[in-house]
């Protein structure tokens, strides 16, 4: 399977990806826990059907020490006992932020308030930005049909 467009070979696409990556660095350097960041990226990517991002972030999380049990249960986080209350709040916000078009009313006040119990204002800013950014990455990859499965942790620097 080949992508419809080479995101790294096309000048416009490559420039866009560099800007996305710069935004991602701001989030990665925030105090939002790295484990939470990966869980959010994986869950949004699962919902959006982005195989490339699901592959990448699952492998990155595993390389960083995430357990296979937790990785395998991300899609069923509501029933899984392996996530903290803070992680559950982040996953709920990620789901609602990803499914804005599906949920009349978008992100609920309850989901935001629950996240605010666990994260300070800077972490909430990083979390909101992360949800928006991973959704942008997902959409570009799904639109161009970026193939999944070949990612190796760290291959993009």
What angle do helix axes 11-28 and 34-48 make, rounded to 10 degrees?
Answer: 140
- Whether 152 is covered by a domain: the verdict is no
- Whether 50 is covered by a domain: the verdict is yes
User: Which percentage of the chain shows pLDDT scores above 70?
Assistant: 99
Identify the pLDDT of residue 90.
98
Contact between residue 6 and residue 14 where contact means Cβ atoms under 8 Å apart: no
Whether the full predicted model's pTM is greater than 0.85, yes or no, is yes
- Write out pLDDT tens, residues 48-57: 999 999 999 9
- Whether 20 is covered by a domain: the verdict is yes
- Write out pLDDT tens, residues 60-104: 999 999 999 999 999 999 999 999 999 999 999 999 999 998 867
CATH number, domain at 82? 1.20.1290.10
Helices and strands in the chain, H and E counts:
7, 0
Query: Where in the sequence is the domain holding 140, given as residue range(s)?
Result: 11-144
């Amino acid at each position: 399977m080949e992508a419809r467009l080479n995101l790294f070979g096309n000048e416009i696409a490559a420039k866009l990806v560099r800007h996305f990556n710069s935004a991602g660095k701001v989030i990665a350097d925030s105090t939002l826990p790295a484990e939470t960041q990966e869980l959010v990226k994986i869950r949004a990517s699962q919902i959006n059907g982005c195989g490339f991002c699901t592959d990448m972030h699952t492998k990155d999380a595993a390389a960083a020490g995430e357990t296979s049990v937790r990785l395998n249960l991300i899609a069923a986080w509501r029933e899984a006992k392996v996530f903290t209350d803070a992680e559950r709040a982040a996953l709920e916000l990620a789901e609602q932020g990803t499914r804005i078009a599906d949920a009349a009313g978008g992100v609920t006040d309850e989901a935001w308030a629950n996240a605010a119990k666990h994260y300070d204002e800077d972490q909430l800013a990083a979390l909101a930005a992360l949800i928006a950014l991973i959704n942008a990455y997902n959409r570009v990859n799904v639109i161009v049909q970026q193939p999944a499965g070949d990612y190796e942790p760290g291959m993009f620097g």
